[in-house]
């Protein structure tokens, strides 16, 4: 099947995006000392109410503006990383040429190193996120919807692949 007609085509950018989502989780799920719960909740909800649009143009930028000032430098790095990834996705999807993906990795590595440096300077005021944090009912529903969509795409890809192998 022609790659341009596939619903889903894996590339390493998906792995890079996963790293980005982990950074998003850490930044939007931690609460700096002295910051009111409602401030973090608003920023968190802005990201997680519609995860599929979070990666869309400027949605993460708007969410990062809601972060408390102490976390804004980290938010700026997330926006930079998102822009690198979005540009790489567009470039890859136009040509299906993966030769530039290494350059994306280099840019992302610089961003991750900067995130580590900036986050390291905040460790006294920002405790790590609670790993036992549970999704509320609405978040779980949204997570399930995205997961279901991913499973449907995977099944369709398997069916297409199965048809090719059998012919």
Could you read off the pLDDT of 22-47 as tens digits, one per residue?
Answer: 999 888 888 888 888 888 888 888 88
Cα–Cα distances (Å) from 94 to 3, 4, 75, 165, in that order, read 11, 9, 29, 27
Flag whether 4 is in a domain: no
**Same-domain pairing of 83 and 159:** no
DSSP of 106-123, one letter per residue? HHHHHHHHHHHHHHHTTT
pLDDT band at residue 167 using 50, 70 and 90 as cut-offs: very low
Q: Which two tokens stand for residue 133?
A: 């944090």
Specify the range with the lowest mean pLDDT, choosing from 71-75, 100-104, 110-114, 122-126. 122-126
Whether this prediction's pTM lies above 0.75 is answered by no
**Same-domain pairing of 128 and 150:** no
Q: Hey, which of 22-26, 137-141, 156-160 has the most confident mean pLDDT?
A: 22-26
Domain of 85 in residue numbering reads as 9-133
**Same-domain pairing of 118 and 90:** yes
**Same-domain pairing of 36 and 80:** yes
Task: Show contacts of 28-37: CB within 8 Å, 24+ apart.
Answer: 28/63, 28/67, 29/129, 29/130, 29/133, 30/71, 30/126, 30/127, 30/128, 30/129, 31/126, 31/127, 32/68, 32/70, 32/71, 32/122, 32/125, 32/126, 33/125, 33/126, 33/127, 34/125, 35/68, 35/70
**Same-domain pairing of 142 and 80:** no
Residue 14 pLDDT more than 80?
yes
Residue with more model confidence, 125 or 41: 41
**Same-domain pairing of 156 and 127:** no
Residue 165 pLDDT more than 50?
no
**Same-domain pairing of 143 and 90:** no
pLDDT for 76 equals: 92
Determine the average pLDDT of the residues in 126-155.
61
Residues 52-109 have pLDDT tens digits of 777 776 788 888 999 998 899 999 999 999 988 888 888 777 776 666 677 778 888 8
């Amino acid at each position: 099947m022609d790659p341009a007609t596939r619903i889903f085509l894996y590339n390493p950018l998906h792995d890079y995006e996963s790293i980005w989502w982990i950074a998003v989780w850490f930044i939007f799920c931690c609460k700096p000392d002295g910051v009111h719960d409602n401030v973090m909740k608003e920023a968190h909800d802005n990201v997680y109410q519609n995860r599929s649009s979070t990666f869309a143009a400027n949605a993460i930028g708007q969410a990062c503006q809601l972060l408390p000032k102490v976390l804004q430098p980290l938010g700026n790095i997330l926006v930079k990383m998102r822009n690198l990834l979005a540009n790489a996705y567009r470039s890859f999807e136009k040509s299906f040429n993966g030769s530039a993906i290494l350059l994306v990795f280099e840019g992302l590595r610089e961003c991750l190193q900067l995130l580590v440096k900036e986050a390291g300077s905040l460790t006294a005021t920002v405790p790590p996120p609670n790993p036992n944090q549970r999704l509320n009912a609405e978040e779980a529903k949204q997570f399930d919807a995205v997961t279901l969509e991913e499973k449907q795409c995977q099944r369709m890809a398997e069916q297409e692949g199965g048809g090719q192998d059998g012919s």
